[in-house]
Chains A and B, each alone.
Chain A
Amino acid sequence: MPVNLAREIEVYEGQIELKKQGKIEDKLFGEARLRRGAYGQRYDNGQRHDGITHRSLPFPTQASKGTETMWDAPGMQRIKIPFGGLNPDQMDVLADVAEEYSDAVCHITTRQDVQLHYVHIEDTPDLMRRLASAGITTREACGNAVRNVTACSIAGVCRCEAFDTTPYAKAMAYHLLGHPDTQDMGRKFKVAFSGCKTSSCGLTNIHDLGFIAKTWQSNGATHRGFEVVIGGGLGAVPYDAQLFDATVPEEEILPLAQATCRVFARLGEKRNRGRARLKFLIEKIGVEEFRRRVLEERKVLRPDPRWTDYLKDVERYHEAPAKASSNLDLATLDPELEAWRTTNVYAQRQAGYVAATVTLPLGDITSWQMRRLADVARRYVGDNVRTTVEQNLILRWVSEADLPALYAELKRLDLALGGAGKIEDVVSCPGTDTCKLGIAASRGLAAELHERLVERQKRGEIDPAVRDMHIKTSGCFNSCGHHHLADIGFYGVSRKVGGATVPHFRVLMGGEWANNGATYGLTIGAVPSKRIPEFIDHVTQRYLAGRRPGERFKDFVGRIGKKALKEMVDVFSSVPPYALDRTLYSDWRDPREFTISDITTGECAGEVVPQIEFDLQAAEQRNFEAQVHLEQNEFQKADEAAYQSMLIAAKGLVRTQLWDLGDDPDRIVAEFKTRFYDTQLFQSPDAGQYSGGKFALYMLNRHADVDRAFAPDKARHLVEEAQLFIEAAYGYYQRMSEPRAQAKTKAAVDLPEMAEAAI
Chain B
Amino acid sequence: MDLHKFGIKFFAASADGIDILKLIPIYHRWIQHSALEDLLIDVADYSHVPAGPGVMLIAHEGNYALDETGHERGVVYYSKQRLAGELPERLARVARRALKAAQLMSEDAELDGALRVPGNRLEFYANDRLAAPNTDAAYAELEPALKAFLDRLYAGARYTLAREVDPKERLTVRVEAEGDVPLEALLARVA
Quick one: given A433-B45, A447-B47, are A99 and B168 in contact (CB under 8 Å)?
no
- CB distance B170 to A99 under 8 Å? yes
Asked if A699 is at the interface (CB within 8 A of a chain B CB), the reply is no
Stretch among A42-50, A170-178, A636-644 lining the B interface = A42-50
Q: How far is the CB of A597 from chain B (nearest CB, A)?
A: 15
**Pick the contact of B32 from A50, A364, A447 — CB < 8 Å?**
A50
Q: Which residues of A contact B128 (CB under 8 A)?
A: 100
Q: What is the number of contacts between chain A and chain B, taking CB atoms within 8 Å? A: 93
Q: Which residues of B contact A369 (CB under 8 A)?
A: 51-52
How far apart are the CA atoms of A589 and B31 in the complex, in Å? Answer: 16
Asked if A743 is at the interface (CB within 8 A of a chain B CB), the reply is no
Q: Which residue of B is nearest A368, CB measured? A: B69
Q: Which residues of A contact B69 (CB under 8 A)?
A: 366, 368
- CB distance B42 to A120 under 8 Å? no
- CB distance B63 to A100 under 8 Å? no
How far apart are the CA atoms of A92 and B56 in the complex, in Å? Answer: 23
Asked if A52 is at the interface (CB within 8 A of a chain B CB), the reply is yes
- CB distance A443 to B45 under 8 Å? yes
Q: Which residue of A is nearest B53, CB measured? A: A104
Q: Which residues of A contact B58 (CB under 8 A)?
A: 74, 103, 118
- CB distance B28 to A72 under 8 Å? no
Chain B 33-56 residues near chain A, CB threshold 8 A: 39, 41-53, 56
- CB distance B44 to A118 under 8 Å? yes
- CB distance B41 to A364 under 8 Å? no
Asked if B189 is at the interface (CB within 8 A of a chain A CB), the reply is no
How far apart are the CA atoms of A120 and B60 in the complex, in Å? Answer: 9
Asked if B25 is at the interface (CB within 8 A of a chain A CB), the reply is yes
Quick one: given A117-B44, A447-B45, are A368 and B51 in contact (CB under 8 Å)?
yes
Mask: chain A, 114-125; 1 = CB below 8 Å from B; 0 = not:
000110100000
Q: How far is the CB of A54 from chain B (nearest CB, A)?
A: 12
- CB distance B41 to A371 under 8 Å? no
Q: How far is the CB of B148 from chain A (nearest CB, A)?
A: 24
- CB distance B41 to A592 under 8 Å? no
Stretch among A57-65, A254-262, A568-576 lining the B interface = A57-65
Q: Which residue of A is nearest B81, CB measured? A: A120
Quick one: given A364-B49, A591-B25, are A50 and B31 in contact (CB under 8 Å)?
yes
Query: How many A residues are at the interface, by size bracket?
Result: 35 or more
**Pick the contact of B53 from A52, A105, A589 — CB < 8 Å?**
A105
Q: Which residues of B contact A43 (CB under 8 A)?
A: 41-42
How far apart are the CA atoms of A118 and B21 in the complex, in Å? Answer: 20
Chain A 328-343 residues near chain B, CB threshold 8 A: none
Chain A 586-631 residues near chain B, CB threshold 8 A: 589-592
How far apart are the CA atoms of A450 and B53 in the complex, in Å? Answer: 19
- CB distance B28 to A58 under 8 Å? no
- CB distance A100 to B129 under 8 Å? yes
Q: Which residues of B contact A52 (CB under 8 A)?
A: 32
**Pick the contact of A589 from B24, B50, B63, B80 — CB < 8 Å?**
B24
Asked if A313 is at the interface (CB within 8 A of a chain B CB), the reply is no
How far apart are the CA atoms of A69 and B17 in the complex, in Å? Answer: 41
How far apart are the CA atoms of A366 and B52 in the complex, in Å? Answer: 6
Quick one: given A72-B60, A74-B41, A96-B129, are A592 and B46 in contact (CB under 8 Å)?
no
Asked if A354 is at the interface (CB within 8 A of a chain B CB), the reply is no
Query: How many B residues are at the interface, by size bracket?
Result: 35 or more
**Pick the contact of B127 from A51, A57, A100, A443 — CB < 8 Å?**
A100
Q: Which residue of B is nearest A451, CB measured? A: B48
- CB distance B130 to A126 under 8 Å? yes
How far apart are the CA atoms of A147 and B167 in the complex, in Å? Answer: 35
Q: Which residue of A is nearest B166, CB measured? A: A371
- CB distance A48 to B130 under 8 Å? no
How far apart are the CA atoms of A377 and B93 in the complex, in Å? Answer: 39
- CB distance A48 to B42 under 8 Å? yes
Q: Which residues of A contact B96 (CB under 8 A)?
A: none
Quick one: given A366-B49, A366-B69, A447-B45, are A60 and B127 in contact (CB under 8 Å)?
no
Q: Which residues of A contact B53 (CB under 8 A)?
A: 103-105, 366
Q: Which residues of A contact B42 (CB under 8 A)?
A: 42-43, 48
Q: Which residue of A is nearest B65, CB measured? A: A103
Q: Which residues of B contact A143 (CB under 8 A)?
A: none
- CB distance B45 to A589 under 8 Å? yes
Q: Which residues of A contact B127 (CB under 8 A)?
A: 99-100
How far apart are the CA atoms of A43 and B53 in the complex, in Å? Answer: 22
Q: Which residues of B contact A590 (CB under 8 A)?
A: 24, 28, 43
Q: Which residue of A is nearest B80, CB measured? A: A120
- CB distance B28 to A50 under 8 Å? yes
How far apart are the CA atoms of A368 and B170 in the complex, in Å? Answer: 10
- CB distance A105 to B46 under 8 Å? yes
Q: How far is the CB of B164 from chain A (nearest CB, A)?
A: 12
Chain A 89-111 residues near chain B, CB threshold 8 A: 92, 96, 99-100, 103-105
Chain B 125-172 residues near chain A, CB threshold 8 A: 127-130, 168-170
- CB distance B63 to A105 under 8 Å? no
Q: How far is the CB of B36 from chain A (nearest CB, A)?
A: 14
Q: Which residues of B contact A447 (CB under 8 A)?
A: 45, 47-48
Q: How far is the CB of A97 from chain B (nearest CB, A)?
A: 9
Q: Which residue of B is nearest A591, CB measured? A: B25
Chain A 362-403 residues near chain B, CB threshold 8 A: 362, 364-366, 368-369, 371
Quick one: given A51-B28, A60-B60, are A361 and B129 in contact (CB under 8 Å)?
no
Asked if A461 is at the interface (CB within 8 A of a chain B CB), the reply is no
**Pick the contact of B48 from A42, A57, A103, A364 — CB < 8 Å?**
A364
Asked if B5 is at the interface (CB within 8 A of a chain A CB), the reply is yes
Chain B 58-90 residues near chain A, CB threshold 8 A: 58, 60, 63, 69-70, 80-81
How far apart are the CA atoms of A43 and B51 in the complex, in Å? Answer: 28
Q: Which residues of A contact B60 (CB under 8 A)?
A: 57, 59-60, 72, 74
Quick one: given A59-B60, A92-B168, are A414 and B39 in contact (CB under 8 Å)?
no
The listed residue with most A CB atoms (<10 A of its CB), out of B25, B44, B48, B129, is: B48
**Pick the contact of A103 from B32, B50, B63, B70 — CB < 8 Å?**
B63
Q: Which residues of B contact A366 (CB under 8 A)?
A: 46, 49, 51-53, 69
Q: Which residue of B is nearest A105, CB measured? A: B46
How far apart are the CA atoms of A407 and B116 in the complex, in Å? Answer: 35
Asked if A444 is at the interface (CB within 8 A of a chain B CB), the reply is yes
Quick one: given A105-B52, A366-B52, are A118 and B25 in contact (CB under 8 Å)?
no
**Pick the contact of B21 from A59, A92, A362, A589 — CB < 8 Å?**
A589
- CB distance A371 to B45 under 8 Å? no
- CB distance A118 to B49 under 8 Å? no
Q: How far is the CB of B41 from chain A (nearest CB, A)?
A: 6
Q: Which residue of B is nearest A365, CB measured? A: B49
Q: Which residues of B contact A365 (CB under 8 A)?
A: 49
Chain A interface (Cβ < 8 Å from any Cβ of B): 42-43, 48, 50-52, 57-60, 72-74, 92, 96, 99-100, 103-105, 117-118, 120, 126, 361-362, 364-366, 368-369, 371, 414, 433-434, 443-444, 447, 450-451, 589-592
Other than the known A48-B42, A369-B51, A371-B168, what 10 A-B pairs have Cβ atoms closer than 8 Å?
A: A74-B58, A103-B53, A118-B44, A120-B81, A364-B48, A364-B49, A371-B169, A433-B44, A447-B48, A591-B24
* 23 contacting pairs across A/B (C-beta < 8 A): A42-B42, A48-B41, A50-B28, A50-B32, A59-B60, A60-B60, A72-B60, A100-B127, A103-B56, A105-B53, A117-B44, A118-B63, A365-B49, A366-B49, A366-B51, A366-B53, A371-B169, A414-B51, A433-B44, A447-B47, A589-B21, A589-B24, A591-B24
Across the A-B interface, the 9 shortest Cβ-Cβ residue pairs? A414-B50, A591-B25, A361-B48, A366-B52, A447-B48, A50-B32, A364-B49, A589-B45, A100-B127
